[in-house]
Structures are given as structure tokens and as C-alpha cells.
Structure 1
Amino acid sequence: MLSPDNRKITLAIDPSDLTIGDLLDALAAYQDKPLVFRYDGRPVKPGYHVTEVKAGQFSALDCGANPESWSEIFVQLWDVDEGGPVHMPAGRFAAIIRKVADHVALDQSARLTFEVSDGIRPMELHRSTQPRLVGGTVEVELSPRPASCKPRDRWLEEQKQADASCCSSASGKACCA
């Protein structure tokens, strides 16, 4: 099934996903605070490295034969203990991203994905939450990025919007529930 006008569908970012712009904006107030990424119920080791930042433009065909396109930024974290007794300051992380942006076009509104590995286990894909100040550190919780069926996700969103408009008092209709 193609979009009604046979054009690619640009994916909207899941509201629970953070963009690189969101992350950098949130970190701006905490330049000197240690930045701690958490995944699998634990923090990354103090010596973690940002080993790669890459930007991609993707075109695909989903399982409903709909053409899709989106931008995504991948930040690769190497979870090792080689950098000293404290975590990288948020300002250093932001400087790494800015340096990448000097050489690679980074869409500030692109979906952000973290690739995390300790160098032994395979890389895992994660999405992130909004940073929060916990004690004297800035913490970013990473959770596994789940697979999804985009046609089903769009249908569910349409149903949610239809239910909301049907049940609003402004619609003048009886509640659908």
C-alpha cells in the first residue's frame, strides 16, 4: 500500500525519542557536570569513549510496501574504563558533537540512536531519555530501541486521534468509548 499520492512518507520522530538538538540543549546548562549514560540498569564506566558519530539519511520500504524516509544520528559509546576515575563532563561530550558537526551535516531534529558496546558484547541500539540532574551528575537513561511495524503504528495513531476527536465535547458527538 502506497501513500495516497504515491510519495515517500517521512517518519515523524516518536515523542519518546530524543534528538541530538534536544540532548545538546539540555546539556548546555551542565557543562562541568559529569555525563553518565545508563543502560542495562547500570552506568557506563567512567572511561567511556564516544568512538563515532554518524549521520544518515535513510530510504526504505516498510512491510506495508510504503516508501519511508528519515534522518538519524548514531552516537557510538564504547563502555570501557580507560579514561580516569570520573565520567566525561557534559561540555566535553557537547564539544565532540560540535567538532563532528564541523565536518558532517548533523540534522538537529534527526532521531538519535546510541550504539553501545563494551568491546566484547555485540553493539546494542538504544534510544535515550531527557537528561536529568542526579546529585552532582547528569544522567541519560538509555533503553533498547524496539522494532516496530510502521503501518500498524500509523494505524494506531490514527485510531487514537479519531477517538480523541470523536470524544471531544467540541465535536458534538457522543463519546466513542
Structure 2
Amino acid sequence: MNAIDKTLSSDISLGVLLEALAASPTLPLAFRYDTRLVKPGYHVTEVKTGQFSALDCGANPEAWAEIFVQLWDIEECDRTHMPAGKFAAIIRKVSEHVQLDGSAKLTFEVSDGVQPMQLYCASTPLVTDGAVYVELFPRAASCKPRDRWLAEQAQAVACCGSANTAKCCG
């Protein structure tokens, strides 16, 4: 995979995740990262939110909200993967004390307590084999001006290749 290819992940928001989990609250919730599943005893150790302001490499001001969910990837006794509804309840409990924006960028911080924490974005949850699976992909650095330019190019190609050619490309 190319270092700037983001086609594998959809980089979902917290709201999209919670909506998907609400459809299957009793099913186990398993996260997959670096080609492995989180261990059944995993804990959600922290949920935090932040408002960020920055200047990108093209001197463009940027601002966004981001929610971080920290997963501690451990094996614990005879535990199973937590039900999707329990994960949602943890988020609801946090939202009683901290204002969480459902449309905010969602980042997972994952560590086994030994290796350094790594940052991941999440794909849309999939229900398969009696569980809800969320694929986590490493959150790579990017150049926002280049990302915007690529998005504009993709939109132009999609538009100019359609029946709307005169309207889009004229």
C-alpha cells in the first residue's frame, strides 16, 4: 500500500460508530489492528476529546474536533470481547461529563501496556460470524493541501466522466 493511499479506511466519526453498534448491541465487539484481533480482555481506558487549531504546510489555517478512544489490549481471565452495547454505554457515560461531538474525527490509541501506544483510524463496523468487527488502520501523516487537491481531481474526473460533462467541465 502506498504511504498516502487512504482507500482502505473510511476514517469514521464517533456518531457513525455508535449508530452501527446500536444495531447489534448484544454482539461481541472486536477490534482488529496490525493483522490481529484485540484480546478478549481489552479495556476502554480513556475517552477524550479535543479541539485543534493548526496551520498546515501550505499556510492554511485548519481547525477540527477529534475524539480519542484508548484501548488497552490485554488478556484478562476468562473475559470475552465486550458487547457492542457495553462499549456504547461507556461512550454515553463519558458524554455525561464531557461534550462529545458525534461528527468529530475518531482516533483509537492502542497499546498492550508494553509497546508504545499507536494511533489508528477506524473503518465502518461489519457484522460477521456473530460479532461486530472494526478494522483499525494506522493513522498516517498527510499533506492537507495535497489531500484537498487530490479530492478536487477525483471529483473533476468523476464529474467529467459523467452525463454532466457540460455542466462540470464546460
Q: Assess same fold via TM > 0.5.
A: yes
Does the aligned pair in 1 maintain the 2:10–2:124 contact within 8 Å?
Answer: no
Match of 1:7 in 2: none
CA contact (8 A) 1:17 1:127 kept: yes
3-state SS of the aligned residue for 1:146?
Answer: coil
1:107-138 CA-partner distances (Å, limit 9, x unpaired): 00001000000000000000111111121211
**Alignment check: 8 A CA contact 1:46 1:83 kept:** no
CA drift of 1:165 comes to 3.2
Q: Could you tell me how far 1:161 is from its partner in structure 2? A: 2.2
Number of residue pairs aligned between Structure 1 and Structure 2: 160
For residue 142 of structure 1, give the secondary structure of its aligned residue in structure 2: strand
Distance 1:107 1:141 in 2: 22
Matched, 1:28 2:61: no
CA distance in 1, matches of 2:24, 2:163: 44
Structure 2 residue 143 is the aligned partner of structure 1 residue 149: yes
* Contact 2:22–2:85 (Cα < 8 Å) also in 1: yes
Give 2:22's aligned amino acid: A
Residue 81 of structure 1 corresponds to 75
Query: Residue in 2 aligned with 1:123?
Result: 117
Q: CA deviation at 1:83?
A: 5.5
Report what 2:45 is aligned to: 51
Alignment CA distance shift 1:163-1:49 (3 Å): same
Gap runs ≥5 in structure 2: 1-8
AA aligned opposite 2:112: D
Normalised by the size of structure 1, how large is the TM-score?
0.85
Deviation by residue 1:46-74 (Cα, 9 ceiling, x = unmatched)? 11000000011100010111110001100
The answer to whether the Cα contact below 8 Å between 1:46 and 1:87 also exists between their aligned partners in 2 is yes
Unaligned runs of 5+ residues in structure 1 are 1-14
In the alignment, the residues of structure 2 paired with residue 166 and residue 18 of structure 1 have an alpha-carbon distance, to the nearest angstrom, of 28
Tell me if structure 2 keeps the 8 A contact 1:48–1:83.
Answer: no
Instruction: Provide the rounded CA distance (Å) in 1 between the counterparts of 2:57 and 2:136.
Output: 27
Match of 1:72 in 2: 66
Conserved 8 A contact 2:109-2:117: yes
Indicate which of 67, 78, 90 corresponds to 2:84.
90
Max Rg structure? 1
- Give me the whole-angstrom Cα distance separating, in 2, the residues matched to 1:160 and 1:22: 24
> Which of the residues 134, 138, 160 maps onto 2:154?
160
What is the rounded CA distance, in whole Å, between the counterparts of 1:170 and 1:136 in structure 2? 43
Q: Where does residue 107 of structure 1 map in the other structure? A: 101
What is the one-letter code of the residue matched to 1:134? T
**Deviation of 1:164 (Å):** 3.1
Counterpart CA distance in 1 for 2:36 and 2:47 is 23
Identity of aligned residues (%): 67
Check whether the contact 2:66–2:104 (CA below 8 A) recurs between aligned residues.
yes
Give the alignment partner of residue 32 of structure 2, picking from 24, 35, 38. Answer: 38
Partner of 2:163 in structure 1? 169
